[in-house]
Amino acid sequence: MASAPESKVRPWPRLRRGLVHDFTVVKVREDMVADPRTNLEHGRVRMECADWVNVIAVTTKDELVMVRQFRFGIDAATLEVPGGVIDPGEDPATAAVRELEEETGYRAGRLEPLGDVHPNPAFQSNRCFSYLALDCERVSDGHPDDGEDIAVELYPRADLPRLILEGHITHSLVVVAFFLERLRAEAKR
């Protein structure tokens, strides 16, 4: 495998750390940094979020287990894969199993890691881990966290391209999870 070329981009030294505003799910601050080329000072926003997990859940009948929930950033309901915040000290795979069952009531027969991405490294510090949960079977009605209102929906796995291309699935990290799944499947061939 070819390695990435060595970067000539230098780090930006932090001159001052800004005041932290804690909004429970995210901490936001503005730091003052120096441009390594010019030494000019610039403000840069940083959002500290917990790591997240997404789970592509597939039933024994080759159906995708999806969730629909209201998202306040766009004031609309979205169609997504189950997922959520990784608790402090929790292993991402353990979080994937927990979130799948909490949100949907389904339990996986097998769990495969697909990879992880930085949701938006321009100002976020966290990672999003994606997993493929196979041979999923419903074991309960699920038990979403307080503040979650989730509807579970099943779709034939073959409908995935249409769901994305027609704009039914618009959450970028969900699309990334499916892309990682496809890359892994192609690499196995």
Structure tokens at 13: 């030294």
Catalytic member of 80, 101, 148, 186: 148
Contact between residue 87 and residue 81 where contact means Cβ atoms under 8 Å apart: no
Residue 137 among the catalytic residues: no
Phi, psi of 172 (to 5 degrees): -60, -35
Q: Quick one: residue 8, left, alpha or beta (phi over 0 = left, psi -120 to 50 = alpha)?
A: alpha
User: What's the Cα-to-Cα distance from 174 to each of 41, 58, 64, 88, 89, rounded to whole Å?
Assistant: 36, 14, 13, 23, 24
Q: How far apart are CA 163 and CA 62, in angstroms?
A: 16
Q: Quick one: residue 162, left, alpha or beta (phi over 0 = left, psi -120 to 50 = alpha)?
A: alpha
Nearest to 29 by CA among 17, 11, 15: 17
Give the active site residues: 148
